[in-house]
A = this chain, B = another copy of it.
Amino acid sequence: MRAGDMSEADFMHKMFYPDNVAVVGASSSPRNMGRLIVQNLVTWEFPGNVYPVNPRADDVLGLKGYSSLTQIKDPVDLVVAFVPANAVPSVLDECSRKGVTRMAIPSGGFSEYGESGSELARVVKAKAREYGIRFVGPNGLTIINAENGLCLPFLPMSKREPGGISIITQSGGVGMSLIMFLNNQSANFNKFISVGNKLDLDELDFLAYLGRDPGTRVICMFLESVVRGSDFFEVSRSIDKPVLVYKANTTEIGARTASSHTAALANDDAVLDDVLRQANVIRVREIKRLTEMARAFELPPMKGNRIAIVSPAGGYAVLLSDLASKLGFEFPHLSEHVLDGFRQNVRADVIRFGNPLDLGDVLSSDAIVYGLDKVMEQPDIDGVVAVLMRRADAKYDGAYSALSREIYSDIGEIIKRHDKPLAMCLLTQCHYLRHVQSRMTYPIFENPEDAVEALAVSRDFHTRR
């Protein structure tokens, strides 16, 4: 990377923390899409100056408009060029005249659109090289930094507080859905990069940056192609944070499709699997799992291989132990101390106790909390999977009244007290699940299988060093 007299790290930092942003192509027309970028910067309370640039120097949403970048007096840290593809080269010329070295180019119409687009791409790339400009895009949603409100997508977005998960995606649409999956769980992202055609800066530049970024604790990537396969290994090995990857484009038809929309090369799936494993990367094979598994790292680390499973039904105990067993977990016996405590709280003569522990007949919130606490306390258990079932439309009274107390805060306390992971799945109606998730700071999984896999992912990350 070249960037004048700045270090690479400082240069990239300013891409995410610019003091100001110019949006070329933002106008006052209600149907103008660049206007939505300005709108997002306002909504997300970006603290620096925002300069709309359009031929008539229209003001946009109360912000003073400029007819060209050179009309702006102060230096400009970042230029968003949301203009038709064939107008992008002239914006580069203007950036050069203004001394701008960072750009975000959301516009489509380049290599994904046949030979004329490819020629345009070559021109843009050559000009950027000549001028010492680095850019993200084209054909992507570019950047969001939830820490400072730098929200550049051309879609209206609600402001969110920053979380610890950052996202790199080749597809803007998939990226938007990943943000939605996180928001649905009341989780938040820290930084978001939609690399699009990655004509200049690519996923590895951003991966390296996020590896250094203090706000990023976990990195999720949606990739269709990996153009610098050998560098991938080197960059990801140098990062001491969990990196989760969903790799699409693993079949011939996938490759054909990928090349139509981002002009990316196909990759051999088996080879990539090998590279990803050696690169300490966690591969995820269902798109929603990418954000679910990222949340595994919001729990204390799973430092060993010894698990306990606590289930509200014999059937779940069986299916979860099948899965945990396939994932290589061991099941220590529960101590007599734990079991005795349980027996005192339970209707007699109904169920045998062990690990996995079937709480189907334990009709008391207090007894369940007691049991979870004791199982977590047991020194030879490294982490616990607990499934709870709550039928939000049923009254917990009569024979079930001792179950009426909600135990989610207790579980949060138990996790803190023992500093071990308790991966909890709550089987319930969605509005109730969302309500619980919005009140708790630890992750609550929707699928029982995800809770077990979350501990496997955490174990694999924390024990392989």
Contacts and interface: CB of A to CB of B under 8 A. Distances in A.
Interface of A: 30-33, 35-36, 85, 108-109, 112-114, 154-158, 169-177, 180, 183-184, 222, 224, 246, 248-254, 256-258, 260-262, 286-288, 311-319, 321-322, 324-326, 331, 349-352, 354, 356, 358, 360-361, 389, 391, 393-395, 397-401, 427-431, 433-434, 447-449
Given A314-B261, A349-B113, A351-B261, A158 B393 contact: yes
A150 B169 CA distance: 51
B249 A394 contact: no
Given A184-B430, A322-B250, A316 B398 contact: no
A344 B393 CA distance: 49
7 contacts: A158-B393, A248-B318, A248-B319, A249-B319, A254-B318, A260-B351, A260-B354
B398 A315 contact: no
B315 A248 contact: yes
B315 A391 contact: no
Contact of A427 (B177, B313, B447): B177
Given A31-B398, A251-B322, 18 more contacts: A30-B397, A33-B399, A108-B361, A109-B350, A171-B313, A171-B315, A171-B316, A173-B316, A173-B360, A176-B313, A224-B318, A253-B325, A253-B331, A258-B314, A258-B318, A261-B318, A262-B314, A430-B430
Q: Determine which residue in A36, A112, A286, A315 has the highest number of CB atoms from chain B within 10 A of its CB, and name it.
A: A315
A352 B257 contact: no
Nearest to A286: B449
Contacts of A109: 349-350
Given A350-B109, A431-B431, A391 B176 contact: yes
Given A314-B261, A319-B248, A394 B156 contact: yes
Contacts of A358: 257, 260-261
Given A260-B352, A389-B173, A434-B430, A321 B36 contact: no
A369 to B, nearest CB: 19
A352 B258 CA distance: 11
Tell me how many chains of this kind the complex includes: 2
A395 B40 CA distance: 13
A234 to B, nearest CB: 25
Q: Determine which residue in A170, A256, A257, A317 has the highest number of CB atoms from chain B within 10 A of its CB, and name it.
A: A257
B447 A251 contact: no
B253 A324 contact: yes
Contact of A32 (B171, B246, B287, B399): B399
Contact of A314 (B257, B316, B429): B257
A351 B112 contact: yes
Contacts of A354: 256-257, 260
A109 B258 CA distance: 58
Contacts of A447: 286-288
Nearest to A117: B349
A433 B349 CA distance: 44
A254 B400 CA distance: 29
A125 B81 CA distance: 79
Given A174-B316, A350-B108, A447-B288, A394 B155 contact: yes
Contact of A177 (B224, B389, B401, B430): B389
A173 B313 contact: yes
A-B pairs with lowest CB-CB distance, top 4? A173-B313, A171-B315, A261-B314, A174-B315
